[in-house]
Structure 1
Amino acid sequence: MARNCSVCGKGIVVGIKLSHSHIRTKRTWSPNLQRVKAIVDGTPKRVLVCTRCLRSGKVQRAI
């Protein structure tokens, strides 16, 4: 299941965690996704949106 922002498409990023002893292990960074009711194509729907899109006003909230 893909967990991406429905506005900007931001998703999970994969990288490497580096310990003090230089042991490298894989890790992931997840976006801060919120499930909100937004206007999509003129109708209110529940969508996953990242907080940056919510803060910048790219999403029109449905009340």
Structure 2
Amino acid sequence: MAQVCGICGKGPQFGNNISHAHNISRRRWNVNLRPVKAKVDGGSKRVRVCTSCIKSGKITKA
């Protein structure tokens, strides 16, 4: 299952882990997704939404 928000399309970001000895390995920051029952097109539907969309009120819970 993709780590993508159903409202804003926000996905994971990528970067590096850098240790004290300056060893570098790739890492990723995942989006904080929550399954929410939201009103979509008049009916209720389960959508995976990031918490920033929930907080800002971009969805209405069913």
Asked if Structure 1 and Structure 2 have the same fold, meaning a TM-score greater than 0.5 normalized by the shorter chain, the answer is: yes
| 1:16 aligned partner | 16
| 2:49 aligned partner | 49
Output the amino acid matched with 1:39.
Answer: K
Between the aligned residues of both structures, percent identity stands at: 52
Q: TM-score, with normalisation over the residues of structure 1?
A: 0.92
Question: Take 1:13 and 1:42, find their aligned partners in 2: how far apart are those partners?
Answer: 33
Which structure 1 residue ranges, 4+ long, deviate > 2 Å from structure 2? none
Q: TM-score, with normalisation over the residues of structure 2?
A: 0.94
**Number of equivalenced pairs:** 62
- What are the ranges of 5 or more consecutive residues in structure 2 without an aligned counterpart? none
The residue matched to 2:27 in structure 1 has which SS?
Answer: strand
The residue matched to 2:52 in structure 1 has which SS?
Answer: helix
* Deviation string, structure 1 residues 7-54 (Cα, Å, up to 9, x no partner): 111111111111111000000100100000001111100000000000
Question: Take 1:3 and 1:46, find their aligned partners in 2: how far apart are those partners?
Answer: 15
